Amino acid sequence: MKKSFDIIVVGLGANGSSALYHLSKLNKRVLGIDRFTPPHEFGSSHGESRIIRQAYHENPIYVPFIKQAYDVWYEMERISGEKLLLKTGGLMLGEENSYVVSGARLSAETHGIDYEYLDYNELLKRFPAFKPHKKTVGILEHEAGILFPEKCIKTFLYQAQKNGACIVNNEMVLAISFADDRVTITTAGGVYTAEKVIISTGAWMSTLLPDLKLPLTVERQVLHWFKNTSGHLQQKILAKKFPVYIWEYLPGQLFYGFPDIGSGVKIARHHQGEQIKPDELTQQVSGDEIKQMKYIVDTYLNMEVVYDRSAVCMYTNTPDEDFIIDYHPEFKNVILASPCSGHGFKFSSITGKLLCDMATDGYFGLDISPFSLKRFTNLSAAKTSFC
């Protein structure tokens, strides 16, 4: 294989695979490198499903990005013939003034997103799968649904290769040395050079770029699946009326979940995980973790379930939980992407396009200044935002 390229993408998870696909359409010599064989179970992009939604309670600034992300997901479905996105509708649940409910409403109203406000009685009537308490209300948006992360990554990589991109799997990048006009990448298997590099190594961003002292922390997150054992008719009724949901059940504490799409009801807490080093992630899930989640299921879902299985994944958090998408502070031919903090998958279709535009001086028409590294120089207090 040639060792010299126009652009190299390091890390081929959600964002890197998408960037590689967009670059591959431009007639450039592009290479993607990953330390494993994506999609895989060791980073942040596995576990069968990810929520996609538009009424973005975190901040209305994300809505223009998500609208364009939907377009790219549809484009990928058209090109590949694969089903990547399943619309189920999405319910944001909490008390009237909770962060999730008020934030979703603000984004919907700011950007003209169609939504319904449901009070407690409406929730009970329309969504028998849930057991809200009397002060719970909901914002229902119809465009929300499920992305299939492994299939999305596979599709980006397959289409990129079809367009001529090279991919090297199972080769860990050990070092990257920068100069203004050339980047040299040393892996366990060789040395590659390129004019530009996109670094999208997820939980391993800081490991690969220790000198930048990026303000990132890695958090262990556990996903759980439960089998619904309610009677057959009851299961059918519940399945028909079961959107994806995010529930602020206590101030600042969230869990979220998915309907049964064939492998059980998936549910997880957002944050509240242990801070870890990515290479020390253990896949073991304790009895206590399962017990705590079963308690949440029994309290908030109106169904009988038995525990089935769990998976372990990682969030890479910034202090304000907004993304990092920026050039290296010294080298403009180096582009950094850390769009996680637990909510980056849905955007990855458009994030890859942005990264490609940044690497090729393309016009991207979206304001990425909220994701710049500069904001951390004067960071005085970390704000808390959610899923």
Ligand X SMILES: Cc1cc2nc3c(=O)[nH]c(=O)nc-3n(C[C@H](O)[C@H](O)[C@H](O)COP(=O)(O)OP(=O)(O)OC[C@H]3O[C@@H](n4cnc5c(N)ncnc54)[C@H](O)[C@@H]3O)c2cc1C
Which residues here bind ligand X, judged by CB under 6 A? 10-16, 33-36, 38, 43-45, 47, 50-51, 172-173, 200-202, 204, 208, 221, 223, 268, 313-315, 339-340, 342-346
Q: Among residues 237 and 296, whose Cβ is nearest to ligand X?
A: 296
For ligand X, give the closer residue by CB, 142 or 229.
142
Sign of CA dihedral 55, 60, 62, 67: positive
Q: Return the number of the residue (208 or 301) whose C-beta is nearest ligand X.
A: 208
Listed residue (167, 166, 146) closest to 73, CA to CA:
146
Distance CA(33)–CA(16), nearest Å, equals: 9
* Least distance (Å) between residue 125 CB and ligand X: 27
- When the beta carbons of 197 and 305 are compared against ligand X, the nearer one is 197
- Work out how close the CB of 57 gets to ligand X at its nearest, in angstroms, rounded to a whole number: 13
Q: Is the separation of the CB atoms in 13 and 153 below 8 Å? A: yes
Least distance in Å: CB of 17 to ligand X?
8
CB of 30 to ligand X, least distance (A): 15
Closer residue to ligand X in complex, CB, 210/287: 210
Q: Which helix (H) or strand (E) holds 73?
A: helix 63-80
Shortest Cβ 378–ligand X spacing (Å): 25
Contacts 24+ apart (CB under 8 A), 276-284: 276/218, 276/219, 276/220, 276/314, 277/218, 278/202, 278/203, 278/204, 278/207, 278/218, 278/314, 279/207, 281/42, 281/220, 281/312, 281/314, 282/312, 283/41, 283/311, 283/312, 284/312
Contacts of 149 (CB under 8 A, 6+ apart): 14, 39, 45, 46, 47, 48, 49, 50, 345
Q: What whole-number distance in Å separates Cα of residue 329 and Cα of residue 64?
A: 26
Q: For 240-276, give one letter per residue: b (16+ CB within 10 A) or e.
A: eebbbbbbbbeeeebbbbbbbbeebbbbbbbbebeeb
The helix/strand/coil state of 18 is helix
Give the residue with the Cβ less far from ligand X, 90 or 94: 90
Q: Please report how close the Cβ of residue 278 comes to ligand X at its closest, in angstroms.
A: 8
Beta carbons within 8 Å of 276's beta carbon, 6+ residues apart: 218, 219, 220, 314
Would you say 4 or 207 has its CB closer to ligand X? 207
**In the complex, least distance from residue 179 CB atom to ligand X, rounded to whole angstroms:** 20
**Between residues 264 and 342, which has the closer beta carbon with respect to ligand X?**
342
- Distance, in Å, from the CA atom of 133 to the CA atom of 238, rounded to the nearest integer, reads 18
The torsion angles phi and psi of 37, rounded to 5 degrees, stand at -110, 95
Q: What are phi and psi of 254, to 5 degrees?
A: -125, 145
Answer yes or no: are the C-beta atoms of 312 and 220 closer than 8 Å: yes
State in angstroms the smallest separation of the CB of 191 from ligand X: 14
Residue number of the CB closest to ligand X reads 13
Q: How far is the CB of 4 from ligand X (least distance, A)?
A: 19
Smaller CB separation from ligand X, 23 or 314: 314
Whole-angstrom distance, CA of residue 339 vs CA of residue 198: 13
Nearest CB to ligand X, comparing residues 152 and 303: 152
Q: How far is the CB of 33 from ligand X (least distance, A)?
A: 5
